[in-house]
A and B are shown apart, each in its own frame.
Chain A
Amino acid sequence: MRRSVFIAGLAAVPLVLGMGVFGTGRKGSITSAQEKMSTMEVKIDNFSFGPVTLKVPVGTTVTWTNRDDIPHTIVSTDDPKAFKSKVLDTDEKFSSTFSKPGTYPYFCSIHPKMTGKVIVQ
């Protein structure tokens, strides 16, 4: 009886280890898929944000890329500011992660006519 229990225990070890390995693998693939989905991009071109209004799920990281020849900034209009970038030269990027639902309007502090909005749902 004891011997059969011991053998059963030995047989269970690779099974448990295998489940662990496969389980980790599946979790990893899900995480990478989520990471891919949770990054959105806003392009700055010709003195405008594109898209002007971006709807994203909670936890999304939004990356702004300056494709203009002119420096721009990305500054939240909320008080206190939810996010604020340094001055972005051509091809420089700024990212912000949105962990709470809500509407986040923003503008370029050098060119206040440039406005945009991130809606987190």
Chain B
Amino acid sequence: MHPFDIKTVLFAKHAQHVVLIHFPIALFIIGVLFDFLSQWKNQRLLAAAAYYNLLVAAIATLPVVVTGILAWQWELEGQKLKGILLMHLVMGCVSTVLIWVVWSIHTKTRRKQQAVLPGYRLPIEAVAVVIVALTGHLGGFLSGVNGPG
């Protein structure tokens, strides 16, 4: 397969999920890192950077969820999942919800023009990063990236 064969890339029924998943993972983790730094250094610029990273991360989860469900429906014909596949699906859904929750906390604060973000967001963000990382690990394990293959 040629790496720049557009047709193959577009019509591979499962491949988009594996490619697209990297965007929300990277954006969310960096967004949370900026948020922790902004809290520590008390810099509004870092908080703004965190907000925009979290915004794009939340948007990027949408095609990831869609392509993940399509991969399940097309490649596995929607059969009942179990084991690692089921765990990956459940944790993926939880990760998506948490990313949106974190983004919504930041958005509400900005809309209300409050200067200080609520402190409870930090443990939520930390838990979300762990769950996102675990989901990504399971995905990598399934795809063979984290496995022996």
Contacts and interface: CB of A to CB of B under 8 A. Distances in A.
Interface in B72-109: 75-76, 79, 81-85
Given A46-B148, A109-B76, A71 B14 contact: no
B141 interface: yes
B83 A71 contact: yes
Contacts of B143: 110-111
B126 interface: no
Contacts, number: 42
A73 B75 CA distance: 10
Interface size class of B (residues with CB under 8 A): 10 to 19
A46 B14 CA distance: 21
A46 B75 contact: no
B147 A71 contact: no
The interface residues of chain B, by DSSP majority, are classed as loop
Contacts of B83: 71, 89
Interface residues of A, number: 15
B12 interface: yes
A46 B149 contact: yes
Contacts of B81: 87
A69 B84 CA distance: 10
Interface in A42-66: 46-48
A110 B142 contact: yes
A84 B142 CA distance: 19
Contacts of B123: none
Contact of B14 (A48, A70, A112): A112
Contact of B76 (A48, A73, A89, A111): A73
Interface of B: 12, 14, 75-76, 79, 81-85, 141-144, 147-149
17 contacts: A46-B149, A47-B147, A48-B149, A69-B147, A70-B141, A70-B149, A71-B142, A73-B75, A86-B79, A87-B76, A89-B82, A109-B14, A110-B76, A110-B143, A111-B144, A112-B12, A112-B14
